Chains A and B, each alone.
Chain A
Amino acid sequence: MKTRLDLKQQGVDFCEEHAGRKIKGDLFVESTSERISWDPIEFRHLFDQSLVIWRRIGAFEVVLDSLGRLAGFIDHDKYVTSKEGELKPEEADALLAAIGVVPKGAKRTDFKERTIAPNGRVYRGRYELRYPLPDYDAVDVEFNPTRKEVISVRPIPRKK
């Protein structure tokens, strides 16, 4: 009978090969648990293991307020595709309203196009909240004009 280590490696190799055909990009396969058991019907040992496939993507951050509630986010992956295209301020307002992170009634006070490295472009808007929250009363929002999506919502901490 093959050793536990051999069985584990065989499973990881098979998974890497199979996943490589289905998923683009570099992958890392991690074995998280394993178990050998006797199957009384088939009269043989069975080796089971759980595998996790990791693929590199952009980082995602969740911004919390002092009470531990969701206050914003930064989706770094969306900077990569942010290059061309136009975004009207009204379109930006609609995108922000659709994600539901900023309370209704926020008023846009600034909206500008900015270049980002390397060769990227985003739109940045500042929104003042209708009702101030404990830590902040405005947020900076970045938009991806190419895919028409919100990249980040960053609360602006109130000066103490």
Chain B
Amino acid sequence: MDEPAARSAAEGAKAAAGVPADYRFESAQRRFIELAEGSAGAPSRVRDCLAWVVRYSGEMGGWRDLAIEDATGKVVRVQRSK
């Protein structure tokens, strides 16, 4: 998957991922991230995943990061500014 494909996948998934409509694309970075398979807060099996982390940001400084798995094109993680 290249950057345009990752951006396209993120665009298609951003509404379902809760990205506010006024947020704009900021950047896309390819990263190895860790994904826990169990419930949050508890120890569980973890796998490494090559993903494109696509950031959308708003005018007030907030942001959402959508991690798109390189192999499948699916959203595997959503992070937001605190």
Is B one of A's binding partners? Answer: yes
**Residue among A60, A61, A64, A66 with most chain B CB within 10 A:** A61
B33 to nearest A CB, angstroms?
Answer: 5
Is B43 within 8 A of A54, CB to CB? yes
Q: Are B38 and A59 in contact (CB under 8 A)?
A: no
Which B residues lie within 8 Å of A28 (CB)? 38, 42-45
Q: Are A157 and B27 in contact (CB under 8 A)?
A: yes
B54 to chain A, nearest CB (A): 11
Quick check: B29 and A63 within 8 Å, CB to CB? Answer: yes
Q: In the complex, what residues of B have CB within 8 A of residue A63's CB?
A: 29-31
The 8 A CB mask of A71-98 against B (1 = contact, 0 = none) is 0000000000000000000000000000
CB contact between B45 and one of A30, A59, A60 (< 8 Å): that residue:
A30
How many Å from the CB of A80 to the closest CB on chain B? Answer: 14
* Chief secondary structure at chain B's binding surface: strand
Q: At the interface, yes or no: A26 with Cβ under 8 Å from chain B?
A: yes
Measured CA separation A135–B33 after assembly (Å): 20
Interface of A is mostly: strand
A27 at the interface (CB under 8 A from B): yes
A159 to B, closest residue via Cβ: B27
Task: List B8-50 residues whose CB lies under 8 Å from chain A.
Answer: 27-34, 36, 38, 41-46
A64 CA / B28 CA spacing, docked (Å)? 11
Q: Is the Cβ of A117 less than 8 Å from the Cβ of B31?
A: no
Distance (whole angstroms) from the CB of B66 to the closest CB of chain A: 14
Q: Which residues of B pack against A, CB within 8 Å?
A: 3, 27-34, 36, 38, 41-46, 82
Q: Can you name 16 A-B pairs with beta carbons within 8 Å? A: A27-B43, A28-B44, A28-B45, A54-B43, A54-B44, A56-B36, A56-B41, A60-B34, A61-B33, A61-B34, A62-B31, A63-B29, A117-B82, A155-B29, A157-B27, A157-B28
